[in-house]
Structures are given as C-alpha cells and as structure tokens.
C-alpha cells in the first residue's frame, strides 16, 4: 500500500530520515529503522522499533492535507489497494458496514453460491521469510460426472532463502545483518484451504515435520486438520508445512465437491468459481475445468484456452476472481 501511494504522492519528508522517502526506498527504510536502536532506545519502556511507521503516516497526512496531491490518481490508487485487500476497513456504522461488504473491503470470507477456493498462509516461524516466498497453485475441477464433481488442488511454496540456514524454529542461525529482521530462514507455514461447505477431503500429502525443526522439540505427524471455524458456507482444511531455504514444497489436496456447485439455468449447466485472495499477498493460479465429453461450451471467461472438453485459465490473484463457465449437454 505504501509503495503504491508513494508512487502517486511522490517523496515525503519523514522526521529524522536522512533522505526523502519514496516508492523505491520505503521498504528498505522501514526494515533498516526496525533494526536501528540505541542503548537509550532499549532503556525506554515506551520505545517501539516500529515507530517509523507512525512517522511515515504523519508525513503522508501532512502532504495530503497540504493539498499537493493529484486527487484523481490518489483516489484510484486507494480504491485499487482496497480491491487488492492491501487495506481492510471496519467501522461501527450499519450503512457503512453494508457498503464495505458490497465491495468485499471488510475482509469477510464469502463463499458465494458455487465452487469456492481461498488459500491462507500463516507464518509461524518467528521470522520475515514470507517476504521472499513465491506462492502459486493449480486447481483442476473434474465435472465429467456431474453427480460426483471432484477437484485437485496443488499449492507450491518456493523459498528463496539461503539454502545453508538449517531449519530451527527458534534461536536458529541468523545471517549477518538480519539479527532483528531475519529473512533467510526456513518457512514455517500453517496453511489453510477454504472450500464450499459440504466438501470432503479424499486424499492429501501433508508433511511429517521432524522434532528438531520445531520450537517444542516435538515432531508433527503428517496430518490434515478438518477445521471447525463456523464460517458460513465454508469448509476449511489446515496443515503445517515447512519449506527449507532454496527449495519448493508442493502440497496436494483431492476433494469431493458438493453437487450444488453446478447450477441448471435456462437449459444450461453453469459452473461458477469464486477465488478469494488473502490480504497482502500475490499468488499466481492455473485453473483447469474438465466438462463432460460431448458437452457444448456456451461461454467461458475472457482469455480462456479451450481444447476439446477442457478449459484452461491462467490468472493472478491480485484481486478476488470470479469465473463462470456455461455448457450444454446434448
């Protein structure tokens, strides 16, 4: 969000910063400030190593209220960052609450009335390694038997950290210069996958995590947790995965989907998929939909590749995605 806003506002003067802060250097500045501290800072109980965020916010507010702003561009960036879920809003006002919900700016998980997919990663490694993780997924939906729709999800996490750092969740080796901001580490991720209510897990390939990789020195068995989070219209599945430096770990799920994800409308079969993105992330996705042999495709999303009864869609999850495919059974 800061990078996108500063790309429009231009450089700002931040208190105690030795140079103007702009879109190109704001991330490096925040990371450097988090690690810069003096004995006086550490002795002060009110000192916070994230104080630079307040200084940046104050500088942004000063520049906006000074009127030195291209308002249309700033408004467009603000709406864009809301759509990308880099900002979430919550207000105690019923009218505003319904307005935010209409555009999905409130962070609520909404499954819709068809198929649904949401991937949520949680870094539990006491590090900042998710800053250099690349995530992608493939989602294959098999509708060849309309009475038994199934899907196969594969989630790839690529850790671009140094391969020489061993997987020790707490008090592990820290590379020089990363004492307060450890990036080159293994990636401990409690990963959750959200699907439509009624989805059944057929198979998966969870990791078994060795005891010496974990903070409690207890091994974690290869298991998928069936989550009971009481989110309307949603069934969640979770597991722990660890991705060592310079490695990619693929996690597979095979699901039996509820029949109601396929709708019958005006003599057509309608398959809808809603993919909701996790806040503050960027994931590339390949979606493949396999419809019954002999079915006549009526409509697909723009850019889809059609080969016989197979439909391929490549997208990125910069925003939530809605996919609709209609076909007819002769």
Q: Dump pLDDT digits (tens) for 75-97.
A: 999 999 999 999 989 999 999 99
Q: What is the pLDDT of residues 250-262, one digit of tens each?
A: 999 999 999 999 9
| Residue 50 forms part of a structural domain | yes
CA distances from 303 to 104, 217, 276, 299, 307 (A): 25, 49, 20, 11, 13
Q: Are residues 120 and 208 in the same domain?
A: yes
Q: Are residues 186 and 291 in the same domain?
A: yes
| Residue 108 forms part of a structural domain | no
Distance CA 262, CA 267 (A): 13
Residue 43 banded pLDDT, cuts 50, 70, 90: confident
> Domain containing 75: what range?
2-83
Per-residue pLDDT, 21:
96
**DSSP assignments along 107-151, one per residue:** ------SSEEEEEEEEE-SSS-GGGGEEEEEEEEEE-SSTTS-EE
Rg for the chain (alpha carbons), in Å?
23
Count the Cβ atoms, other than its own, within 10 Å of residue 140: 16
Q: What is the pLDDT of residues 216-228, one digit of tens each?
A: 999 999 999 999 9
Mean of the per-residue pLDDT values of the chain: 93
- Is the per-residue pLDDT at 15 higher than 70? yes
Q: Are residues 212 and 124 in the same domain?
A: yes
| Residue 100 forms part of a structural domain | no
Q: Are residues 30 and 177 in the same domain?
A: no
List all residues 6 or more positions away from 177 whose beta carbon is below 8 Å from its beta carbon. none
Q: Are residues 230 and 308 in the same domain?
A: yes
- pTM for this predicted structure: 0.91
| Residue 319 forms part of a structural domain | yes
Q: Are residues 8 and 135 in the same domain?
A: no
What is the domain-level CATH number for residue 270?
2.60.40
Distance CA 236, CA 228 (A): 7
Which parts of the chain fold into alpha helices (H)? 2-9, 26-35, 39-43, 51-65, 71-83, 94-103
| Residue 90 forms part of a structural domain | no
Q: Are residues 75 and 172 in the same domain?
A: no
- Is the per-residue pLDDT at 103 higher than 90? yes
Residue 37 banded pLDDT, cuts 50, 70, 90: low
Q: Are residues 35 and 156 in the same domain?
A: no
| Residue 98 forms part of a structural domain | no
- Is the per-residue pLDDT at 131 higher than 80? yes
Q: Total structural domains in the chain?
A: 2
Q: Are residues 309 and 196 in the same domain?
A: yes
Q: What is the mean pLDDT of residues 120-143?
A: 96
Per-residue pLDDT, 49:
73
Residue 192 banded pLDDT, cuts 50, 70, 90: very high
Q: Are residues 187 and 69 in the same domain?
A: no
Q: Are residues 144 and 19 in the same domain?
A: no
| Residue 160 forms part of a structural domain | yes
Q: Are residues 169 and 45 in the same domain?
A: no
CA distances from 238 to 33, 54, 135, 280 (A): 35, 35, 17, 20
Given 83, 101, 130, which residue is the final one in a domain?
83
């Amino acid at each position: 969000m800061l990078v996108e806003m500063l790309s429009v506002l231009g450089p700002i003067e931040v208190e105690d910063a030795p140079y103007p802060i702009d879109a190109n250097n704001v991330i490096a500045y925040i990371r450097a400030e988090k690690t810069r501290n003096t004995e006086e800072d550490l002795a002060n109980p009110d000192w916070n190593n994230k104080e630079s965020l307040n200084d940046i916010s104050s500088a942004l507010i000063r520049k906006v209220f000074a009127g030195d702003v291209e308002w249309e561009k700033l408004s467009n960036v603000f709406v864009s960052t809301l759509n990308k879920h880099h900002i979430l809003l919550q207000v105690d006002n019923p009218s505003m609450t319904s307005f935010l919900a209409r555009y999905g700016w409130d962070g609520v998980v909404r499954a819709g009335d068809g198929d649904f997919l949401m991937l949520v990663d949680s870094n539990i490694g006491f590090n900042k390694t998710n800053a250099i993780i690349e995530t992608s997924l493939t989602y294959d939906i098999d509708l060849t038997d309309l009475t038994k729709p199934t899907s196969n999800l594969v989630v790839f996490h690529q850790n671009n950290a140094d391969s020489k750092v061993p997987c020790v969740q707490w008090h592990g080796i820290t590379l020089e210069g990363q004492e307060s901001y450890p990036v080159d580490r293994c990636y401990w991720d409690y990963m959750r996958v959200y699907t439509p209510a009624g989805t059944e897990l057929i198979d998966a390939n969870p990791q078994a995590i060795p005891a010496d990789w974990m903070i409690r020195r207890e091994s974690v068995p290869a298991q998928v947790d069936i989550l009971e989070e009481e989110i309307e219209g949603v069934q969640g599945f979770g597991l722990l995965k660890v991705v060592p430096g310079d490695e990619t770990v693929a996690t597979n799920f095979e699901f039996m989907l509820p029949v109601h994800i396929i709708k019958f409308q005006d003599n057509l079969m309608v398959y809808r998929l809603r993919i909701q993105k996790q806040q503050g992330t960027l994931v590339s996705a390949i979606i493949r939909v396999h419809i019954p042999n002999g079915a006549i495709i009526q409509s697909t999303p723009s850019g889809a590749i059609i080969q016989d009864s197979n439909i391929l869609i490549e997208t990125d999850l910069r925003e939530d995605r809605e996919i609709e495919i209609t076909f007819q059974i002769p």
